[in-house]
């Protein structure tokens, strides 16, 4: 019950009026920005990072928990009313939610999304509370070799196994890894890839990369292509409340989706995309009304939305206990920790227990705030959606450049931002996934440090990675997840069924 | 040739790796107990990028890397957005955050098809002013006031 006591202390922190206020501000801003079409959770978190530069770490991280959840909810509102999914995890919602809105049932669709997110988020946070101390105990046994093997596993699944193309995923990852090298080498203090530019000695900030790839890249892409097709905004009409029948169909979907989403979030499997689709498929299979799928079945909104939120919470397990981000959003959150000189991992639970448990407690609070704030304010979010595109993208870029400029008050950061914007444009145009680059930038330097530490301990003997049981097992699993899908493709019978 | 852009991109990835390899060659290599120095991992990453560039090139050449057809590239729109970002970059240091933001807003809106420059400039000015006061007065983030510093008081730098 040690975890329970710690959590109570955490609630003491999270429920302080000032921290409660940061929670409210975070959820409001997160939803406000997350609701903007084309702005996903990763970009929302990155753009709002400069808000926290002058806050104490606990307040800042609580603010971020609110932004994270708010951005998720904002994204689903946009998807349901506008049918332009801001991120791949919302595509499943778009299938049914937008159909419901077209049929005049936008209210219940938004309600089941909000309530499902609340239930799934709360249950998933409960699971996080129970699982985290266990993982921390395990992680304390990890040495540098084990950490390195774990990071290699995360790199491989995120970049090579998931997504449309292995080579493009890997190319994105390696570009991120190369950018992660820029700056002072942590082991020897030798400057690398800085070319004598002082702004580069600090390394490339994750905010500049994420905002460049997501915001500037997206704006350039939308301006150059598809700039002329207006999306139709569905009207909010009729009751927002769910009928008895809606409840009866939603609740089991929420529960099943939580069971799918949370475990997927905890393993390095690239965040929410797979569990949302999986949940959609399960609901479709189990539904008593399969004929409604494709025409606005409420289970098809309830399930994926709950799965999305459960996975988003699950992602926090490896982030907080091991310091390993498994999605682009988590990588940016890790960057926020690093800004305060905090390195998430098992040691943080011991040295900064109040902060970590305060953050976990604030996730419960954030979920509740989300519920009480968002359904009543839905009218405001709908109005945000009606902003015409020129003003929308212009506003996004004013905000995006602000974040980069406030780092060093230097135009060099703005130039870097534009270069990453061009990169993001090309990656969007030729279908490279962007997430691996962001994860590579943040996780690459950590992996290098663990790799070199492991070799220092073994006096340069590289066999440690294979002879340590945990490390060897992880590397074997990594090899398996690469080989198995390839083998399955290679040896599958050629005739289609 | 439809493939030329894909091939150029593949070459770009390989060139990034080659550039990385050249920089790596100039890095110190003494490794102490670990036996590897600050140049080891950069070398691995540079080699990886070269291999990935060749792999991409092969996929582009054999037609495996197919991208859905796009609408024609709207060069003026792309240039308006890029130009606005460069103008902002130049202006922010001496004209200040608010004026640079208004210019950025107007230029980007033009790139997205807006033809009402005066209205956009006004909206951009109000938005930048609001952000400026929010960040400088409430959050203590330093932003340059520039030419408007007589009006904005001692706020910012």
- Counting Cβ atoms within 10 Å, is residue A456 exposed (0-12), middle (13-18) or buried (19+)? middle
Tell me: the pLDDT tens digits for A426-448? Answer: 998 888 888 889 989 999 999 99
Phi, psi values for residue A86, rounded to 5°: -75, -20
Q: Under an 8 A CB cutoff, do A409 and B33 touch?
A: no
What are the CA-CA distances from residue B88 to residues A282, B100, B108, B141 (Å)? 50, 5, 11, 19
Task: Quote ipTM for the complex.
Answer: 0.92
> In residues, how long is chain A?
497
For residue A441, give the nearest of A96, A155, A73 by alpha carbon.
Answer: A155
Closest by CA to A311, choosing from A350, A349, A388, A258, is A258
Chain A positions in Cβ-Cβ contact with residue B32 (cut-off 8 Å): 456
Residue in B34, B84, B143 nearest the CB of A456: B34
Tell me the per-residue pLDDT of A86-132, one tens digit each, with 9 for 90 and over: 566 667 777 788 888 888 888 888 888 888 889 999 999 999 998 98
Smallest Cβ–Cβ distance between B16 and the set A175, A192, A389 belongs to A175
Q: Is A37 helix (H, G, I), strand (E, B) or coil?
A: coil
Which alpha helices (H) appear in A182-298, and where do they start and end? Answer: 198-201, 206-211, 217-224, 244-266, 273-286
pTM for this one?
A: 0.88
Which of 82-141 (B) contact A at CB < 8 A?
Answer: 82, 84-86, 88-90, 92-93, 97, 101, 104-114, 120, 123-124, 127-128, 131, 135, 139-141
Cα torsion angle, A371, A362, A249, A299, sign = positive
- How close is the nearest chain A Cα to the Cα of B152, in Å? 18
As a dihedral over the C-alpha atoms of residue A412, residue A416, residue A422, residue A424, rounded to 10 degrees, the angle is -150
Task: Say if CB B152 and CB B98 are below 8 A apart.
Answer: yes
**What pLDDT, on a 0 to 100 scale, did the predictor assign at position A370?**
85
User: Rounded distance, CA A439 to CA A319, Å?
Assistant: 12
Q: Which of A223, A458, A464 to probe the B interface (max B CBs under 10 A)?
A: A223
Q: Is B73 on the interface with A (CB under 8 A)?
A: yes
Cβ distance of A394 and B112 shorter than 8 Å: yes
Residue B28 DSSP class: -
Q: What is the pLDDT of residues A444-471, one digit of tens each?
A: 999 998 998 888 888 878 888 888 888 8
Q: Which residues of B touch A391 (CB under 8 A)?
A: 109, 114, 120, 123
Query: Hey, are the CB atoms on A411 and B92 less than 8 Å from each other?
Result: yes
Instruction: Give pLDDT tens digits for A230-272.
Output: 566 776 666 677 888 888 888 888 999 898 888 888 887 656 6
Q: Judge whether A276 and A89 are in contact, CB under 8 Å.
A: yes
Contact A358, A10 (CB under 8 A): yes
pLDDT, residue B155, reads 46
Check A174 against B55: CB less than 8 A apart. no
pLDDT digits (tens), chain B, 157 positions: 467 888 889 999 999 999 999 988 888 877 677 678 888 889 999 999 999 999 999 988 887 776 665 677 888 999 999 999 999 999 998 888 999 999 999 999 999 888 888 999 999 999 999 988 888 877 777 788 878 777 776 544 4
Question: How many Cβ atoms from other residues are within 10 Å of residue A476's Cβ?
Answer: 11
Q: Which residues pair with A183 in a beta bridge?
A: A192
B69 neighbourhood in chain A, CB within 8 Å: none
- Enumerate the residues of chain A whose CB falls inside 8 A of the CB of residue B78: 220, 223-224
CA distances, A21 to each of A14, A26, A366, B93 (Å):
10, 8, 11, 34
As a whole-number percent, the residues of chain A with pLDDT over 90 amount to 12
Contact criterion met (CB < 8 Å) for A170 and B48: yes
pLDDT of residue B99: 92
8 A C-beta contact, residue A113 and residue A80: yes
């Amino acid at each position: 019950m040690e975890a329970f006591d710690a959590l109570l202390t955490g609630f003491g922190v999270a429920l302080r009026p000032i921290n409660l206020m940061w929670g409210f501000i975070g959820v409001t801003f997160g939803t406000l920005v997350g609701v903007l079409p084309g702005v996903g959770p990763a970009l929302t978190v990155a753009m709002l990072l400069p808000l926290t530069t002058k806050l104490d770490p606990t307040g800042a991280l609580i603010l971020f928990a609110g932004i994270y959840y708010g951005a998720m909810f904002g994204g689903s509102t946009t998807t349901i009313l506008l049918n332009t999914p801001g991120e791949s995890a919302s595509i499943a919602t778009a299938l049914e939610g937008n159909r419901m809105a077209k049929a005049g049932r936008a209210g219940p669709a938004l309600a089941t999304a909000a309530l499902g997110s609340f239930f799934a988020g709360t249950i998933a946070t409960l699971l996080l509370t129970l699982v985290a101390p266990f993982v921390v105990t395990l992680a304390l046994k990890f040495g540098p070799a084990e950490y390195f093997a774990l990071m290699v596993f995360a790199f491989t699944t995120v970049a090579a196994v998931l997504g449309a193309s292995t080579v493009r995923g890997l190319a994105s990852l390696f570009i991120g890894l190369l950018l992660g090298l820029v700056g002072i080498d942590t082991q020897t203090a030798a400057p690398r890839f800085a070319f004598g530019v002082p702004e580069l000695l600090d390394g490339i900030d994750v905010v500049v990369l994420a905002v460049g790839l997501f915001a500037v890249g997206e704006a350039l892409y939308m301006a150059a292509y598809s700039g002329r097709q207006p999306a139709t905004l569905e009207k909010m009409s009729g009751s927002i409340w769910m009928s008895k029948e809606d409840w009866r169909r939603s609740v089991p979907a929420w529960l099943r989706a939580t069971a799918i989403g949370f475990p997927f979030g905890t393993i390095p499997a690239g965040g929410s995309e797979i569990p949302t689709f999986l949940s959609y498929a399960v609901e479709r299979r189990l539904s008593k009304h399969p004929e409604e799928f494709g025409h606005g079945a409420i289970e098809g909104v309830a399930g994926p939305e709950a799965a999305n939120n459960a996975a988003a919470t699950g992602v926090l397990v490896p982030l907080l206990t091991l310091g390993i981000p498994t999605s682009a959003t988590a990588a940016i959150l890790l960057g926020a920790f690093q800004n305060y000189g905090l390195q998430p991992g098992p040691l943080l639970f011991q040295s900064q227990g109040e902060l970590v448990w305060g953050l976990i407690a604030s996730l419960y609070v954030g979920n509740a705030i989300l519920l009480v704030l968002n359904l009543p304010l839905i009218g405001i979010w709908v109005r945000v959606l009606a902003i015409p595109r020129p003003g929308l993208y212009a506003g996004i870029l004013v905000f995006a450049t602000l974040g980069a400029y406030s780092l060093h008050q230097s135009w060099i950061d703005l130039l870097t931002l534009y270069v990453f914007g061009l990169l993001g444009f090309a990656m969007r145009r030729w279908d490279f996934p962007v997430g691996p680059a962001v994860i590579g930038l943040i996780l690459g330097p950590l992996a290098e440090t663990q790799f070199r530490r492991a070799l220092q301990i073994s006096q340069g003997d590289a066999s440690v990675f294979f002879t340590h049981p945990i490390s060897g097992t992880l590397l074997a699993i990594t090899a398996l997840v690469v080989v198995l899908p390839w083998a399955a493709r290679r040896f599958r019978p050629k005739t289609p069924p | 040739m439809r493939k030329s852009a894909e091939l150029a991109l593949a070459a770009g990835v390989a060139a990034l790796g080659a550039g990385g390899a050249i920089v790596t060659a100039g890095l110190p290599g003494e490794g102490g107990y670990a036996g590897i120095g600050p140049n080891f991992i950069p070398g691995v990453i540079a080699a990886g990028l070269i291999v990935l560039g060749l792999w991409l090139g092969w996929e582009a050449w054999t037609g495996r890397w197919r991208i859905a057809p796009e609408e024609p590239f709207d060069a003026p729109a792309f240039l308006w957005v890029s130009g606005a970002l460069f103008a902002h970059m130049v202006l922010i240091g001496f004209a200040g955050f608010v004026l640079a933001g208004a210019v950025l807003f107007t230029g980007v809106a033009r790139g997205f098809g807006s033809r009402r420059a005066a209205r956009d400039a006004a909206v951009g000015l109000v938005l930048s002013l609001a952000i400026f006061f929010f960040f400088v007065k409430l959050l203590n983030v330093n932003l340059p006031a520039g030419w408007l510093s007589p009006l904005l008081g001692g706020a910012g730098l």
